[in-house]
Amino acid sequence: MSALVCAMLAVEFAHAEETFINPEWANSAWYLGAGVGRSRGTIDRQRLTDSFTANGASVTGFNTDERDTGYKLFVGKQLNRYLALELGYFDLGKFGFNATTSGNGVLNGEAGFRGANLDLLGQLPITERLSLLGRVGMNYAKTSTHFSGNRLAAVTAPDHSERKLNAKAGLGLEYKLSEALALRGEMERYRVNDAVGNRGDVDLLSVSLVYKLGRPAHSAPVYVPPAAVEAAPPAAVVAPLPPPAKAPEPTSEKASFSSEALFDFDKSTVKPDGRAALDDLLVKLQGMNTEVMVTVGHTDSVGSNDYNQKLSLRRAEAVKAYLVSKGVEASRVYTEGKGETQPMADNAKAEGRAKNRRVTVEVVGTRSTTK
């Protein structure tokens, strides 16, 4: 399993800087996850002390072990960008105590908790990669207890198990390493019964890896060979050959798209309206033998120069990624980020800033001409 996780991490980290171009898939995908961390339970010392007193003994020493390693495995379904449903298995570890009483009495106890849970997970995006998590759900836990020593009269039975349905909740953060792989840090509280009449909480602080299944691959351009031309039979009369046709000259076509048409505010993921606009551009370019495409991002002057330059480059790369996914050869598409260095209107006015926020696509190629 460790080798599988390492291989998966190596592949995904190699793609960590890729622009997110499959939001519909990411917001509806199935995913798998695994987490490990530290769990903490609470031993009810007062109840045990009262049990000893009722049996004519007094407590002279009491030591507890209330921490252990816990882990969880889960499968989930992304319902939309903000909600997911998760089904999981958990093992919260074991917690114990050692008590000594008057009259050389000893009682040792241990309780372990494991079971299944069903949660509704809420996700609130903070940035494109970072989200705040909150979960509520139910856990069905099996509690197993074992007692030993010469003071067993203080408990109902040396060995006992019990299954109960209780609530659980949690908070955390998720960071998307790529469209498919994410890292979570969470604090969860499981309400449990300890099988000897107590009811309490076990907390789990964990780190998890989440992997979404079925990531779409970029579609590759398909080469269609030209149709074979049959040779014409020799003519009875040889006519003078016409002058050779003039080779088509390279032409340049340029399209400019406002940032609002392609992206949400301060984002670099192409939204549905933007994809439709780029699809329309590709339709207009049909019949052109494309040699070079250059996507250039521009911003207004709001914000720092460094941030604007990086945002403009991310947007240009997002447009390239979408064009490549529609069949354009990646080696023919170049990107540039100009930031706020090439305004086409006055940044002091809202209308001017709107014009300056844009992405241009320039295409150089040749069109065949027929007479």
170 or 106: which carries more pLDDT confidence?
170
**62 burial type by CB count under 10 A (0-12 exposed, 13-18 middle, 19+ buried):** middle
| 18 beta partners | none
- Confidence bin at 62 (pLDDT 50/70/90): confident
Q: Which of 8-22, 79-93, 95-109, 134-148 has the lowest mean pLDDT?
A: 8-22
In the chain, what are the helix, strand and coil shares in percent, each to the nearest 5? 20, 45, 30
pLDDT for res 219: 44
What value does the mean pLDDT take over residues 55-61? 74
At 350, is the secondary structure helix, strand, or coil? helix
pLDDT for res 86: 97
What value does the mean pLDDT take over residues 208-222? 74
Kindly give, in sequence order, each residue whose CB lies less than 8 Å from that of residue 280, ignoring residues fewer than 6 positions away. Answer: none
Cα 259 to the chain's mean position, in Å? 25
* pLDDT > 70 fraction of the chain, expressed in percent and rounded: 80
pLDDT for res 254: 74
Nearest to 19 by CA among 299, 262, 369: 262
Residue 1 has pLDDT above 90, yes or no: no
Kindly give, in sequence order, each residue whose CB lies less than 8 Å from that of residue 228, ignoring residues fewer than 6 positions away. Answer: none
Phi, psi of 179, deg, nearest 5: -65, -30
Nearest to 215 by CA among 245, 242, 179: 179
| Positive or negative: CA dihedral 118, 124, 125, 129 | negative
* DSSP string of 66-119, one letter each residue: -EEEEEEEEEEEE-SSSEEEEEEEEEEEEEEEEEEETTTEEEEEEEEEEEEEEE
Task: Give dist(CA 129, CA 265) in Å, integer.
Answer: 15
Q: What is the pLDDT of residues 316-335, one digit of tens each?
A: 888 888 888 888 888 888 89
Task: Decide if 107 contacts 149 (C-beta within 8 A).
Answer: yes
- Confidence bin at 132 (pLDDT 50/70/90): very high
What value does the mean pLDDT take over residues 256-276? 80
Task: Decide if 203 contacts 40 (C-beta within 8 A).
Answer: yes
- Confidence bin at 103 (pLDDT 50/70/90): confident
Residue 283 has pLDDT above 50, yes or no: yes
pLDDT for res 302: 86
- Model-wide pTM > 0.75: no
pLDDT for res 128: 83
Task: Give dist(CA 71, CA 136) in Å, integer.
Answer: 18
Do the bridges between strand 159-176 and strand 181-193 make them parallel or antiparallel, or are there none, so unpaired? antiparallel
Task: Give dist(CA 9, CA 181) in Å, integer.
Answer: 8
Residue 359 has pLDDT above 50, yes or no: yes
Task: Give dist(CA 68, CA 353) in Å, integer.
Answer: 57
pLDDT for res 246: 64
Do the bridges between strand 358-367 and strand 288-298 make them parallel or antiparallel, or are there none, so unpaired? antiparallel
Task: Decide if 305 contacts 339 (C-beta within 8 A).
Answer: yes
pLDDT for res 195: 57
Do the bridges between strand 105-125 and strand 83-101 make them parallel or antiparallel, or are there none, so unpaired? antiparallel
* pLDDT > 90 fraction of the chain, expressed in percent and rounded: 29
pLDDT for res 271: 85
Residue 120 has pLDDT above 70, yes or no: yes
pLDDT for res 231: 54
Q: What is the pLDDT of residues 307-316, one digit of tens each?
A: 888 888 988 8
Task: Give dist(CA 75, CA 175) in Å, integer.
Answer: 18
At 212, is the secondary structure helix, strand, or coil? strand
Q: What is the pLDDT of residues 342-358, one digit of tens each?
A: 898 888 888 888 888 88
At 352, is the secondary structure helix, strand, or coil? helix
Q: What is the pLDDT of residues 159-207, one digit of tens each?
A: 888 899 999 999 999 999 988 999 999 999 999 987 556 678 899 999 9
Average pLDDT, the chain: 82
